[in-house]
Chains A and B, each alone.
Chain A
Amino acid sequence: MLKIRGLCKTYRGSKVKAVDDLDLDVRAGEIFGFLGPNGAGKTTTIKAVVGLLKPDSGEILVDGVSVWDRPIEAKRRIGFVPDTPELYERLTGREYLSFIADIFEVPQEERDARALELLEMFDLKDALLDLIQSYSHGMKQKLAVAAALLHRPALMILDEPMTGLDPKSSHLFKETMRRHCDSGGSVFFSTHVLEVAERLCDRIGIINRGRLCAVGTMDELRRQATESSNLEGIFLELTRE
């Protein structure tokens, strides 16, 4: 579903490679957790995948479509939720979802039913006519996820989706990701919450200083580590300076 080959990115004015020759695959129907310490290159990788950053070199394919050669087709296959829910605060939830449905060209016969399903799932129905600026952080995050799922993307990409969420919302997000994968989609998300990654992900990738230092299922990661068997220990061991 997502194939990254030889991805390199150095920010202008910096000599350090934020992402250095990264290869990664996310398969259809799997939840892939992307872990790494602060500044390791997680968000840079995610931004390159969704088209927010232009990589220096490398190739990114979403469902076989190149993100930089055929960006429009690639973007149609992606649903993205950024780390901070920066939405149009002066639109209502309804107007925002309507706008997203329009620009993703969700067919008329599908949009209302899909919106209703998502609004009920995320308990946003009662707030739909309020301005987004009156929403709590969690509500904005849920609206961002609902908007990302509105066009039934093949690949969901979420950057630190659990940040600032209460246990109920966090549980809802995990269920949503699993449900998305069960219906044939894939999820690629970054997180600092190792317990979530350990319990939820089919496979995990660990990035440090821009390079992928480990990738695989929990069992495969345990085999790669020499000292630890839980994810926290493996993470600390593999990202040790």
Chain B
Amino acid sequence: MSSSFWPVLRAMLNTSFGLSALRWRYLRRRQRLWEVPLVIWGMGTLAVMFGYGAYRVLLTVAKVGAALGQPEMALGLATTMAQALVLLLSFFMVVSAFYFARDLRILVPLPVRPGDVITAKFLTVLVGEYVTVLFIYLPAVFAYSRVVPFGPLKWIAALMVFLVLPIPPLAITSLVAIVFMRTINRRQRDILFYVGSFAFLALILTWQFAVARAPTANLDEYLRELISSRLGLLRVVARRFPPAYWATLAVHSWPSLEGAGGMLATVGLGLGSVALIGAAGDRLFYRGLIGGEEVSRGRSLAAGRRRGIAGTEATTLGAPRSPLAALFWREWMLILRTPVWVMNNLAPLFFMPLFMFVVMVAQQGGLRQVLDALAASPNGYTYLGLGIAGYLSFLGGVGGLAATSVSREGARLWISRVAPQPAVRQVLAKLAMAVSAVLASAIPALLVVAAVVRPPLLHMLGGTVAGVAGTIAVTCIGLRMDVARPMLRWQDPREPVKTNLNALMSIGLFLIAVIGGGLIARLMMLYGHHGLAVYASLTGVGALASWVTFRNLWNTAEAGFARLEI
């Protein structure tokens, strides 16, 4: 690591998390100070809600584990989950930060080793991954501390493990990304990028499936070993992903020799991974990067001819669209052609049904029991309908499509601002895009539910209509937030979707919507109302919320756009 590494890392952390901009705005200029308590409150509430929920679940696991003589069960589970999540979610963040960030234009000509640049970028992405890990690992440590004696030494061990926990999975995705981007042919770079990325994610999902699935042969022996032997569950995990095993031992067996060994392996693997990334960066990073930057001129007409757009037709603009259709088309095109946005904003919507499908296949026997119980329960299908409504609202919040819609325009917002189109029309196009994406992604999930569960049509329709009303309200508020406070100055397309507080607040909105809707539904069902009445009430509340939020968006769009100074 050369002396230039630290200034590069400092600058990268500064720009990625906007530290200087925050200092400048809140401390020097003292602007928009009202945001600070609001953001702290919002993030604090979310952190407590998520954290406490995870803690309750993990405490139950820890108590069950302690009763079976495996008190480390919750810790092992959380460690595996945290590393699996980093492995699954970080690939596109890494590719975006390594290959699509605008700061590369500044960094590449500098006399800095490629290994230092890639290591600094790796550590910057790592800081973001700590948030993912924190929400799983910290509740697990608290839950674990309730079932075993937990002194200061254990806390120090837990802190050390936390600091290195996301490094090995992030290093794996980084190495795959570096090799992948170096290998793919630049002519079909975009297509290969998507194909390769989905193949990688499918591989990870398969691995998780393999971890979760019990062997059908020798099942009795497997279960006996799992339950009765010391560290039984942990040893099963260790066969598939040893780093999670070592990290758990590092805390659970600390300060014994076994614990010290786990700690040595965990920290050693973490530091070794960082060194490996640096070495791979030196050899492969700039070659992959420069391959992608090369301009391919003069082939477009030939390519056009191949696609049948030949001669003078290649110089026509195609059939005209209405301004609203053109704006809607632009929203779709820009997101579909920016891989990191696809993976952040669209993929979660479409992965969810896929994930559900994998879980259903993995739990075949259990699923049949659940379906039978559902059919037998007097309110079973109503709960299913409510689940559909909650799921649709969830899609409105989780993708953050609307809540990052203005932010994604960034420095190109001038094009929208000088366009002779009213702001309300531009906002309408963004809203239509977000809602259409949610609905398009919901259709496969609804079809899976209809085919597998076969619920009565009333419950399918009731839940769907209530969910659509909810998702429109969540989408409108998300968009309203982004019109009010967009993140327009970014270097890397990852920033407006990943480090944008609006996206986080959008998830918070979904939670509020679901808690509110859930309370209404629960109360109505307690008083013996029919499912239809529950759906009608939720649809009414959702439609009212959608109308109010849409009106607010409509009325404030012009002033909101006019305030955006770029």
Contact = CB atoms under 8 A, between A and B. Distances in A.
Whether A associates with B in a native complex is: yes
Contacts of A11: 565
A75 B562 CA distance: 14
A52 B338 contact: no
A222 interface: no
B219 interface: no
A90 interface: yes
Interface stretch (B45-53, B368-376, B418-426): B418-426
A127 B300 contact: yes
A13 B420 contact: no
A127 B421 CA distance: 28
A103 B320 CA distance: 10
Contacts of A94: 314, 317-318
Contacts of A128: 300-301, 304, 314-315
A115 interface: yes
A52 B298 contact: no
A111 B309 CA distance: 17
A71 to B, nearest CB: 8
Interface in B294-310: 295-301, 303-304, 309
Interface residues of B, number: 47
Interface stretch (B322-330, B359-367, B549-557): B322-330
Interface string A70-109: 0111011010101010111011101101110111111010
B429 to A, nearest CB: 10
B420 A104 contact: yes
A216 interface: no
A115 B338 CA distance: 27
B320 A111 contact: yes
A90 B333 contact: yes
Contacts of A87: 412, 415
B485 to A, nearest CB: 14
A112 to B, nearest CB: 4
Interface in A151-184: none
B1 interface: no
Contact of A126 (B29, B30, B298, B418): B298
A129 interface: yes
A129 B300 contact: yes
B2 interface: no
A105 to B, nearest CB: 6
Interface of B: 29-31, 295-301, 303-304, 309, 312, 314-323, 325-327, 329-330, 333-334, 337-338, 411-412, 414-415, 417-422, 562-563, 565-566
14 contacts: A50-B417, A52-B414, A54-B562, A72-B420, A76-B420, A88-B415, A102-B325, A102-B326, A106-B320, A115-B316, A125-B301, A128-B300, A129-B300, A136-B295
Given A12-B29, A103-B323, 10 more contacts: A52-B417, A54-B562, A75-B418, A88-B330, A91-B334, A103-B326, A105-B420, A126-B297, A126-B300, A128-B314
Interface of A: 11-13, 47, 50-54, 71-73, 75-76, 78, 80, 82, 84, 86-88, 90-92, 94-95, 97-99, 101-106, 108, 111-112, 115-116, 119, 125-130, 134-136
The 3 closest A-B pairs by CB, nearest first: A102-B326, A129-B300, A90-B337
